[in-house]
Structure 1
Amino acid sequence: MTERLNHYIGGVAVGPSSGEFFTSTNPATLTSLYEAARGNAEDVDRAVAAARAAFESSSWSRLSPTKRGRLLRNLGDLIGENAEELARLESVDNGKLIREMRGQMAALPEYYYYYGGLADKVQGAQIPTASYDVLNYTQREPLGVVGAITPWNSPLTLTTSKIAPALAAGNTVVIKPSEHTSRTVLRLAELATEAGFPDGVVNVVTGFGAEAGAALVSHPDLAKISFTGSTQTGSRIASEAASRFIGCTLELGGKSPNIIFEDADVANAAMGVIAGIYAAAGQTCIAGSRVFAHKTVYDELLDLVTARARTIRIGDPLADSTELGPLAFADQLAKVESYVDIGVAEGASVHAGGKRPDLDLPGYFYAPTVLTDVDNSMRVVREEIFGPVAAIMPFETEDELVGLANDTEYGLAAGVWTQNLARAHRVARRLDAGTIWVNTYRAMSPMSPRQGFKNSGVGIEHGLESMNEYTRLKSIWINTDEGAAPDPFMMRN
């Protein structure tokens, strides 16, 4: 019998109010994994109520920041102890390589240790005033109930990017994971209870975006929404948040340039291109999907990337030898196929891949693809594909390159490959992207802030700055003069 997973609300598993469930499928084998509760507005209301009650309870609101930090470190320890289980659950749920998921799970405790250390470092300041008798100081306070809507490509890592700072700041959370990857987020909530978090501090409602997600975003008791996903959905969430004057943090789409100058180590740059677009089957918002190579190294880079793309081992993501797993679900495969067809219709040449590979497995696999004869006017260059498709283009001058790289609605990340230190700093400064990697790609740390420019997002994740996303600033004025009140028609300062 297929396992059934309920919501996690108030520290316990809770069945869907409708009694309905939906099926999650292994994208490599197309077999059913489990059935998850199909959440609706009633389920969301129950979860938000539990989170609100926990936020107001003394067991959480009066818990010292240092003890909050200890709970986060406890959770990090438990994730480390259960890393292999979590890696395998996530791999079969979204098709990512088991070795990549093991790496993510090994790194994940560090996020909770980092934010656990920040929990008691949130502080205000004394503000100078013109009057000796007036004391003015600030303090940062938690917001309340934070809603987190997370995607399917890295469920635990991207959920952690939201809830770790939110919890460190003293908020409570309601998480709506992707309907394609519910299992590990539910397991995370169970581990939070095991770590000692009071009931209701961490809640999970599973289901679809149009049902559970929309109900969470519009809930009147929500103090903030944090979302990772498409730019189109992010725009709707931002509008809803603005209509109710609540905060939102949005990490959205990308069409990141990966740039190879003539003085680069081309072999290393080729590996950086492979990492940027074929790791995770291209299903990452920071994918280096637009590759710009100087005309003097274009042919060499194209040959190296194409040769490696053609030899990438595609197959079972649970096998240690596999280098490329399936796309996460059928619609994503269809989307990738349609974009390659669009590119060919626009004049692009398929230099490698461009089709489903011939495998014994029945899953949603697509071969690593290289497109040439492309330019910035084509949809395959302008629109996010979210698959293993690289468009490789030549350029001649630095100024031309900067213009091409910045000619996009997105601004999430960029890669620069050069041995020229002055050029590295100069180009990094000129690129419209929140993260710039030089002679590397896909490097990440909980300590390094990440922000999307333009249509790639709003707000900051990771780093010290992210704590401000989950707190509000209060300014407090104390009059210490016990004498007669001053002129009531004059503003004090």
Structure 2
Amino acid sequence: MEAQLPRADNYVGGEWISTDNVAQSTNPATGAVLGSYSPGSRALADQAARLARTTFEEGSWAASPRLRAAVLFEIADRMEEAKDEIVDLIVAENGKLRAEAMGETMGAISETRYYAGLARTVLGRTIETAPGNFSMMNREPAGVAAIIVPWNAPVTLLLRSLAPALAAGCTTVIKPAPQTPLIHRRVMQCIHECPSLPKGVVHSVNENGIEVGQAMVASNDIDVISFTGSSATGKLIMAAAAPTLKRLSLELGGKAPAVIYDDADLDVAARELTRGALVMAGQICVAATRFLVHEKIADDFTARMKAAFEAVRVGPGSDPASQMGSLIDMPSRKRQAELIEQAGDEGELVLRGQVPGGDLANGAFITPTLFRIDDLASPLVQEELFGPIVSIETFGDEAEAVHKANASRYGLAASVFTRDLARATRTSRAIRSGTIWLNCHGRLFAEGETGGFGQSGLGRLHGPEGLDDFLETKHVYLEAGRI
């Protein structure tokens, strides 16, 4: 008897809900069908939002920090018990290397435990503005939070919004990415198994085109939207949320420059930036996508990066010998191939990416690309390419380096390579970006806030400030003797 493939259903009111329609989930490295999922609907999204609203207003969740901490610890424990299954699903459904998948899973577990700790220490403040006159600034949960999760890191990017939302006391409705439903289903199973979690606190509705997302953004029952994804979609969400004046937490696109000064340790820079550019096949918003190199070392650095990129072995995430996994799907491979042609037309291809043949021909694989370009106005410099394609641009002095680093509407992350501490400090101060790494690239952890300047978004995730988007401040005033 043929084994039945898994299916990811919706999760509303503590119950799994299937729908009449079924959509497939496939392995991007092989094209094989992995399972299926039940697309949700506007009606189901509205039902989940209403239940979340009722639970928030009538239940004890919002006023129970110790319960919230206990639930978050339970989620983390169950995810750790299931980590090998989650990792296997990430490798199969997302295309990542196994090491990347394990890093994502353990990072999500760490994030959840971090916010479990913060759940019991949501602090306000008290001011005595005159003798006997007290102003108490209380921090209270904002209400119902909708969390819209992208496909590129479906576990970490879920928990880094869900954990602070729950820690703050919000109830939640999640919309997972349609490319990674089975990964999400396994994490939701971990959440479902938590004995302390009240049934109406966490809901999840699978997307059906754009219907579910539109319902969440328009819903009067939802107070906060936490979205990670493209700047274009973020703008649409912002416009659609305006009629209900929802609070928005948006981590959007990035075009991370790496500034390499002429005194940099090029061995360190080449090692850090190979990983920083090609992690998750470049499908991450903080990937190093622009190498800004001092003209004195440009030839040497370019040769080093070409050799490093050429040496990267592309293959399935399940193969221990692979050093870069697949793209998310075949349309992405087609788009990357078109961008490579454009890079050849507008600049100079130092290393042309190729679609591999043989056993990899039917998967969403493409090898890394490196190209030189001088035109700051080019879409190749200005737009997020979201793949293993990196530009090399040169500069002559510190002012030009900063100018070029800031010559994009994005400001999510950047890195600076130099042995001069004063110059590192000046440059990191001058670059308008939410995160600056010095002599490294791509360090992310629960304790340190991330977020964007410019069109890279609003708000902050991770760290204590990650709670802010899910909290309101209430001023309670008291005059002694009147009570």
Query: What's the TM-score bracket when you normalise by the shorter of the two chains?
Result: over 0.9
After the TM superposition, which of the residue ranges 97-106 and 407-416 deviates more from structure 2?
97-106
Match of residue 14, structure 1, among 12, 17, 20: 17
Could you tell me how far apart the structure 2 residues matched to 1:390 and 1:301 are? 13
2:259 is matched with which residue?
A: 259
**C-alpha separation in 2, matches of 1:174 and 1:355:** 41
TM-fit CA distance, 1:155: 0.3
1:259–1:417 contact (8 Å) kept in structure 2: yes
Partner of 2:6: 3
CA contact (8 A) 2:108 2:160 kept: no
User: What is the match of residue 271 of structure 2?
Assistant: 271
Instruction: Please name the residue that 1:329 is paired with.
Output: 329
* Number of residue equivalences: 478
Partners of 1:310 and 1:353 within 8 A in 2: no
SS in 2 for 1:270: helix
Answer yes or no: is the 8 Å Cα contact 1:142–1:470 preserved in 2.
Answer: yes
Q: Distance in 1 between matches of 2:245 and 2:149?
A: 22
Q: Deviations over 1:137-159 (max 9, x none)?
A: 11111112100001000001001
The offset of 1:333, in angstroms, is: 1.6
Matched, 1:340 2:343: no
5+ residue gaps in structure 2?
A: none
CA distance in 2 between partners of 1:312 and 1:453 (Å): 32
Aligned to 1:146: 145
The answer on whether the counterparts of 2:62 and 2:141 sit within 8 Å (CA) in structure 1 is no
* 1:23-62 aligned within 5 A: 23-62=24-63
**Counterparts of 2:427 and 2:476 in 1: how far apart (Å)?**
44
Look up the SS of the partner of 1:377 in the other structure. Answer: coil
Which residues in structure 2 correspond to 1:380-399 (within 5 Å)? 380-399=380-399
| CA displacement at 1:187 relative to structure 2 | 1.9
- Residues 11 and 190 of structure 1 are in contact (CA less than 8 Å); yes or no, is this contact kept in structure 2? no
Name the SS for the 2:288 alignment partner: coil
The range that moved more, 206-215 or 23-32, is: 206-215
Is the Cα contact below 8 Å between 2:6 and 2:182 reproduced in 1? no
Paired amino acid for 1:387: G
Whole-angstrom distance in 2 between the partners of 1:316 and 1:134: 66
SS at match of 2:40: coil
Q: 1:100 to 1:116 in 2, by over 3 A?
A: same
Whichever residue aligns with residue 478 of structure 2, its letter is: I
1:110-150 Cα offsets, whole Å, 9 max, x none, are: 111110010011121112223x3433211111112100001
Whether contact under 8 Å (2:91, 2:317) holds in the other structure is yes
Deviates more, 1:165-174 or 1:96-105: 96-105
TM-score, structure 2 normalization: 0.96
What is the aligned-residue identity percentage?
A: 36
Q: Distance in 2 between matches of 1:375 and 1:304?
A: 23
Question: Counterpart of 1:65?
Answer: 65
Equivalent in the alignment of 2:435: 435
Q: Secondary structure at the match of 2:464?
A: coil
Q: Judge which range, 82-91 or 330-339, deviates more.
A: 330-339
CA–CA distance in structure 2, aligned partners of residues 468 and 151 of structure 1? 21
Partners of 1:355 and 1:366 within 8 A in 2: yes
8 Å CA contact 2:112, 2:160 repeated in 1: no
Please give the alpha-carbon distance, in whole angstroms, between the structure 2 residues aligned to 1:251 and 1:240: 17
Shift of 1:343: 2.1
| CA–CA separation in structure 2 for the residues paired with 1:50 and 1:387 | 39
SS of equivalent to 2:129: coil
**Aligned with 2:223: secondary structure?**
strand
Within 2, Cα distance between the matches of 1:2 and 1:363?
Answer: 21
Cross-structure match for 2:364: 364
> Any gaps of 5 or more consecutive residues in structure 1?
484-493
The match for 2:188 is: 189
**Aligned counterparts of 1:34 and 1:309: Cα–Cα separation in 2:** 34
Does the CA-based 8 Å contact 1:122-1:140 persist in structure 2? Answer: yes
Which amino acid in the other structure matches residue 182 of structure 2? Answer: R
Worse-matched range after superposition: 423-432 or 317-326: 317-326
Q: TM-score, normalised by structure 1?
A: 0.94
Residue-by-residue CA offset, 1:297-317 (whole Å, 9 max, x unaligned): 111111111112112111111
Aligned ranges 1:278-357 → 2 under 5 Å: 278-346=278-346, 348-357=347-356
* Inter-partner Cα distance in structure 2 for 1:298 and 1:358: 32
Query: How far is 1:482 from its partner?
Result: 4.4
Change (3 A) 1:465 1:209: farther
For 1:111, the equivalent position in structure 2 comes to: 111
One-letter amino acid of the counterpart of residue 148, structure 1: I
Deviation of 1:367 after TM superposition, in Å, equals 0.8
Matched to 1:143, the amino acid is A
| 2: CA distance, partners of 1:307 / 1:137 | 61
Query: Contact 2:283–2:386 at 8 Å: present in 1 too?
Result: yes
More divergent stretch after superposition (234-243 vs 447-456): 234-243
